[in-house]
Structure 1
């Protein structure tokens, strides 16, 4: 049944293969020779198969785990440098016809406030996000053909790209909406989206169908095969993820890596990003009702394993997680985080309303964007607002070739520093600006190509003089 080149969900995510992989891992997770071989392969930046990763996952030797952590840290630096890309979610609508038992947007929830942004609302929300300093958004919406048709999503994207307030502009809109048709994915591509993101929630088919008892999302195959339709429809960059806590985590990690292998085998390019959300408390949702929660140690191990198994992928952690958890995971492979996020519909422009219950989940890291930017720089990370690759056509296999070739320090590094300079000039507090300018001066010296370094320095001077949007 298992066939990574198949377009059928139950063949490229074969339940039998997952179970056999986990049994193999249980039998070999203490085999020191095999463990050494797997770690050596990871150290060569060759990635890992789902079976090799499963062996490391089930190995409980703390020495092996520490080696994984060190590898994950170095591999992230090799592929993405010390940059951390910043984004924010924008919730357009929480109308939804699905019955997902873990999500407060489920159709039977009569307690939650149902909201949908008008185009005028979007202007206010995006202006507020621009005034924070954001350049990259991930738009979110429930699945509802009446309230949230593709025409509405496309109109919202067009509105967002045309909002310019002071020096603000959203330069990349990523999209996290329900699985749809190849034709509609082509329409999203034509609208200029960045990454199409769709969480699988769980790859375990039986659990998936129980967790999604009603609505279009109940169709496991249609949902699981969505990335193939998206890529066939012309979308170069797709983002995977499961919701940890719904099903047994070893099963989920193995299946996730099988999905990445499938995309690589069929389309020649794996996932642009992998997100690692855990189920959180929300209106009408109690995480304790689910039996598969994972502790912080396991969460860290999963993060490190994804990084060494799929070294080229961007890894995302959102404000679902606390400052402490995010700080722990940053050195283990994370390359993107959200900042200053609101998970309610209309949450950026309106003042905090204790009566509003339209949020999809509770935010655990409630710091402002400026506080997050400052915190990153204090740890010598570069907060990046860069969208250059997307706008220069370095997407899909072109991005992966560029990423794997080690050109980060000549392209992404200076681009990140220039967008950070924009943030410091336009939005930063005095303390953050002071830290940032010192960091930029230090990091500029790390650009290997002398000509590119000199050009980047010249661009920085132009940014300080009021010009914007330079990129390599």
Structure 2
């Protein structure tokens, strides 16, 4: 498969849909309920069907939207919540992005790029927390060796065997690459390649990206095409909500997803939904031009969940604990925990003057795990699909008919048990053991049988048990 060289977001139908929605009366209950009934068939809904949902103002119909999102989330993902942590290796950047603390001309940020020994030290700290998967993040400028610096960092993370654990999967959020460079990234055995368009609105994009390679809208937009052409079939996309009208960006995101599905037969593996948060040296981030309210943010998560039911939705620690809790049921399937967004932040300390943005959730991973378990969810540290080749279209072939639970539920139980046995506080262990028992009791007979066997193996001392 070769990369598409001319894909672009067509704003005309998006603007027409937004104008029609603004000019019309609030969507009627019959229309909305017909759309929600279709959503419960777990096959997604179209961009045209999203428009009435974005314009909902009736509290009763909004509650029905949320109920439908909860139904879809439970049917596809059940009570699993995948856990990861970001590992920032550098805050060097050659771009000038008005909303980001890492922007090139920001004199208020202390710059740092970790060397490989420091990356190994950060990795050991993450392992000591109990993490098994990380998202490696760097500003869009690398010290001395360019992309080789990132490839060396990935090798370093994988090489660390520490205490009772190791990082089993490295996902990557770095600057767009050429097809040839993406092929090298694939050879490094990454999991998911993640990149945010930030905003799909062309004029807004131009206004907030004023210098550096990131000013090239199409080069960034077509990065996923190049990554998939290079064989990286698990890719993640995202919007930084607050730069442009969230309704525009949501419809443009669906257009992008449609392009990927038509071109490669599979859409994004994950969608991230960050809102702009304050950032050192950025007055723009403190007062974003299109700030998204909490109510609209819940709608964004719920609409995405029913529109692309088999795609993971990622919620970072930008959001506070309360918002994270609320969105678990509405559609979020992956969360970070115990996060730091500055290079060296795990081994040393969190520093606002080195961080990309302000965190909303400062809790430790153990505290997050306790909270998740109390809510009836199972924190999953699973990386089995990556290592067994269940990625891209192969993953979707299992996910769409609902068969993925046969694998993911037992893997969630065994990896959570591993966390409880090796890293959890006594309180988290007690809560977690109860949560695992309830989780397995609620499974169908076959995955329940696998789960009990796998969990028992972990309790007897075996590690990295997955299927």
Task: Find the aligned partners of 2:220 and 2:258 in 1 and give their Cα distance.
Answer: 17
Q: Which residue of 2 aligns with 1:467?
A: 462
Among candidates 450, 453, 458, match of residue 458 of structure 1:
453
C-alpha distance 54-8 of structure 1, shift in aligned 2 (>3 A): farther
Aligned to 1:336: 334
Q: Which of 116, 120, 127 matches 1:119? A: 116
Aligned to 2:345: 347
TM-superposition CA deviations, 1:3-62 (whole Å, max 9, x none):
xx975233xx10112111213333375244432332222121121111211221012122
Q: Is 1:172 matched up with 2:173?
A: no
Shift of 1:412: 0.6
The answer to whether the 8 Å contact 2:409/2:451 transfers is no
CA shift for structure 1 position 158: 0.8
1:100 is aligned to 2:102? no
Alignment partners' CA distance in 2, 1:157 and 1:280: 28
Q: How far apart are 1:435 and its partner, in Å?
A: 1.2
Contact persistence 2:340–2:350 (CA under 8 A): no
Give the C-alpha shift of residue 447 in structure 1.
3.3
**CA 1:81–1:17 in 2, change beyond 3 Å: closer, same or farther?**
same
SS at match of 1:64: helix
Partner of 2:226: 229
Matches for 1:45-194 after TM superposition, within 5 Å: 45-144=42-141, 146-147=143-144, 149-194=146-191
Summarize the alignment of residues 4-403 of structure 1 with structure 2, pairs less than 5 Å apart. Answer: 7-10=5-8, 13-26=9-22, 27=24, 29-144=26-141, 146-147=143-144, 149-286=146-283, 287-352=285-350, 357-403=353-399
Question: Secondary structure at the residue paired with 1:174?
Answer: strand
Q: Distance in 2 between matches of 1:363 and 1:290?
A: 16
In structure 2, what is the Cα distance between the partners aligned to 1:103 and 1:436?
A: 37
Check the 8 A contact 1:245/1:291 in 2, yes or no. yes
**Contact conserved, 1:29 with 1:35, CA < 8 A, in 2?**
no
**8 Å CA contact 1:185, 1:230 repeated in 2:** yes
Residues 284 and 351 of structure 1: CA distance in aligned 2, closer, same or farther (over 3 Å): closer
Q: In the aligned structure 2, how far is the partner of 1:21 from the partner of 1:148?
A: 47
1:95-142: CA deviation from partner (whole Å, max 9, x where unpaired): 110011111111111221110011100111000000000001001111
Question: Secondary structure of the residue that 1:283 maps to in structure 2?
Answer: coil
Query: SS in structure 2 opposite 1:156?
Result: helix
Mean Cα deviation higher: 333-342 or 282-291: 282-291
Task: Please report how far the alpha carbon of residue 453 of structure 1 lies from its aligned counterpart in structure 2 after TM superposition.
Answer: 3.4
Show the counterpart of 1:429.
425
User: Secondary structure at the residue paired with 1:123?
Assistant: helix
Deviations 1:404-455 (A, max 9, x none): 11124321111000000000000000111111112212222233244x5334
Residues 453 and 40 (structure 1), Cα distance of their counterparts in 2 relative to 1, 3 Å cut: closer
CA distance in 2, matches of 1:50, 1:317: 22
Contact 1:154 1:188 in 2 (8 A): yes
- Structure 1 residues 341-362: Cα deviation after superposition (integer angstroms, max 9, x where no partner): 0011100001456xx6110011
After superposition, the Cα gap between the structure-2 partners of 1:405 and 1:428, relative to the gap in structure 1 and judged at 3 Å, is same
Q: Measure how far apart 1:339 and its partner are.
A: 0.4
Secondary structure at the counterpart of residue 89 of structure 1 = strand
Is contact 1:88-1:338 (8 Å) kept? yes
In structure 2, the CA distance between the partners of 1:96 and 1:132, relative to structure 1 (3 Å rule), is same
SS at structure 1 position matched to 2:354: coil
TM norm structure 1: 0.95
The answer as to whether partners of 1:86 and 1:337 remain within 8 angstroms in 2 is: yes
How many residue pairs match? The answer is 463
**Pair 1:111–1:424, CA change in 2 (3 A):** same
Measured at CA, do residues 397 and 352 of structure 1 come closer, stay the same or move farther in structure 2, by a change above 3 Å? closer
Q: Which runs of 5+ in 1 are unaligned?
A: none
Query: How far apart are the structure 2 equivalents of 1:6 and 1:137?
Result: 30
For residues 349 and 248 of structure 1, do their structure 2 counterparts lie closer, same or farther at Cα, with a shift above 3 Å needed? same
- Give, in whole Å, the separation in 2 of the partners of 1:339 and 1:145: 26
CA contact (8 A) 1:28 1:34 kept: no
Q: CA deviation at 1:149?
A: 1.5
> Whole-Å Cα distance in 1 between the matches of residues 391 and 220 of structure 2?
23
- SS at structure 1 position matched to 2:210: coil
